[in-house]
Every structure is written in structure tokens, then in C-alpha cells.
Amino acid sequence: MSFVLLADFNFGSLAIAIVLGLGLGWIMVRNKNTDYSKISILKRKDFVSNMRKGQLVDIRKKVEFENDKIKGARNFKMSSITSKTAKLRRDQAIYIYCQNGRKSKSAARKLVKNNYNVVYVLEGGLDAYNNK
């Protein structure tokens, strides 16, 4: 009878459950010490009135940036925003935007995870900026 129980037991399901549990635990531990309160989503008016107080960053593709941008912005690829070559100061606020606001929210989380102090995201991105 014990042989029948072992035959019905699916080791593959157990392995999948263990791997998923470990993966979820790793994600929770990794994000535990990240203070997402350092990210603020700003409406166009507030973003425009304060963006000169920090570093203005555009994370769209270079071609899009060259066609239309906010004056004074620097362009960075999403993948390189926290690299040493990005040369963003950690002690100054970062005002970040993309085309519609989605990628900039993701980039803001990435910046905060990498110990940047304060990050402001333009709600609606450049589309909202251009539609006064």
C-alpha cells in the first residue's frame, strides 16, 4: 500500500512549489528595505514649477528625445539609468519623465532601490506636458 502512495506523489509539483516559494521569498526580502515614499507623482503644474530645483531626466529613446524634449533635460536609457556612466547625483532630487508616465514610474523605483534620495515623476509624461 505504501508503494501506491509513493507512485501517486508527484515530485515535480513539489519541486515547482519549492522553487516558487523561494522566489517569492527572495523578492520580498529584496524589496523589504526599499522606501518607496521617496517617489512622488507630480501633476504637470507642480512638475514644471519645481523641475529646475533638481536633475531633469528623460528616459525615452534617443530619437524621440531629439525630436521633442523638455528644455534642460538629459536623456538616459532605462537600462543605464543607475549605472556609473549616468552621472546622476544622489544628493539632488531627480525629476523624471517618459512619453506617457509608465516607464518613468518603473525607472523611479529602480533609482530608489539604488539609493537615490528623492524622485519626482511627471504624471502622464511628455504627453501631459505638451497638452497644457
Give the pLDDT band of residue 16 (cuts 50, 70, 90).
confident
Given this model, what pLDDT does residue 33 score? 66
Given this model, what pLDDT does residue 31 score? 57
Given this model, what pLDDT does residue 28 score? 66
Q: What is the mean pLDDT of the chain?
A: 85
Q: What is the pTM of this model?
A: 0.74
As a whole number, mean pLDDT of residues 40-64 equals 95
**pLDDT: which is higher, 85 or 117:** 117
CB atoms within 10 A of CB 122: 27
**Do the Cβ atoms of 55 and 92 come closer than 8 Å?**
yes
Digit-coded pLDDT (tens) for 100-112: 999 999 999 989 8
Given this model, what pLDDT does residue 66 score? 95
Residue 55 has pLDDT above 90, yes or no: yes
**pLDDT: which is higher, 93 or 19:** 93
As a whole number, mean pLDDT of residues 29-36 equals 67
